[in-house]
Amino acid sequence: MKASRIAAAGAVSGIAVLALSAPAFAHVSVQPEGTAAKGGYAVVDFKVPNERDNASTTKLEVSFPTDHPLASVMPQPVPGWKAVVTKAKPAKPLESHGKQITEVVTKVTWTADGKGVEPGYFQKFPVSIGALPEDTDQLVFKAIQTYSNKEVVRWIEVPQEGQEEPETPAPVLQLAAAEDDAHGAAGSSDAKAEDTGADAQNTAADASASDSGSGDGSDTTARVLGIVGIVVGAAGVGYGVLAGRRRDSGTAA
């Protein structure tokens, strides 16, 4: 009986690890490179995993928030992808460095020139954005992922606090508290702002190059934990079966 309980516990633990590790790399997400502080500038990465075994991701459309428009949006070139920036007139007057902003970016579309994101891989799309709003704690970016087989996945459901994560959640960027440096960047001259954006883009380029060679650490850890869970579960089952056979043999003798 004890051996059977051990086997069952091992199997359950393996399944639990898999269940916990799967969401870590399941959907399109957005993360800052460093800190995304209110009132400042930041480089953010839209991370796109391929969830299909028989198709590649060939297109990504990211809609930028219209309730908190961003005066500066500059996508970093990604090898093998063409980026198209869509602009529109802001609903409310917007200023940046003392200048009136007549157009803001409402969407960035990346289209693959080649194979795109193949099964078993992911891709990061870095974008320099700012100045970040000071009257909200987060920005929601709705995304649409298109596969080579024409399948379309709409990551547009806004997660609600206190509720379970929706099946196709929209990427959400959490904003940190405003810093002195962030305010300085927002209120500096155009030249300083451009230098800040250029430095941030260079940082993004280094990070992107590193990611392409080594992969994402958190995803790798999740996969390893999943495999370990399976091994532990299988070992538990095997031990239970073997113990049961020995007990039966002893009774027969």
* Residue-level pLDDT at 183: 43
* Residue-level pLDDT at 95: 78
DSSP letters for 62-130: EEPPSSS--SEEEEPP-TTEEEEEEEE--SS-EEETTEEE--EEEEEEEEESSS-B-TT-EEEEEEEEE
* Residue-level pLDDT at 102: 87
State which residues of the chain have pLDDT below 70. Answer: 1-26, 180-253
Cβ(128)–Cβ(43) below 8 Å: yes
* Residue-level pLDDT at 62: 98
Rounded to whole angstroms, the Cα distance separating 44 from 171 reads 11
pLDDT digits (tens, 9 = 90+) for 189-220: 344 444 444 454 454 445 444 444 444 444 55
Q: How many CA atoms lie within 13 A of 149 on its CB side?
A: 11
Which secondary structure element, helix H or strand E, spans residue 213, and what is its range?
helix 190-214
Which secondary structure element, helix H or strand E, spans residue 46, and what is its range?
strand 42-49
Q: How far is CA 224 from CA 18, 28, 35, 249, in A?
A: 10, 21, 28, 38
* Residue-level pLDDT at 94: 79
Cβ(133)–Cβ(38) below 8 Å: yes
* Residue-level pLDDT at 223: 58
* Residue-level pLDDT at 236: 52
* Residue-level pLDDT at 192: 42
* Residue-level pLDDT at 86: 97
- In one-letter notation, the amino acid at residue 146 is T
Sign, CA dihedral 163-169-175-176, equals positive
* Residue-level pLDDT at 229: 55
* Residue-level pLDDT at 209: 46
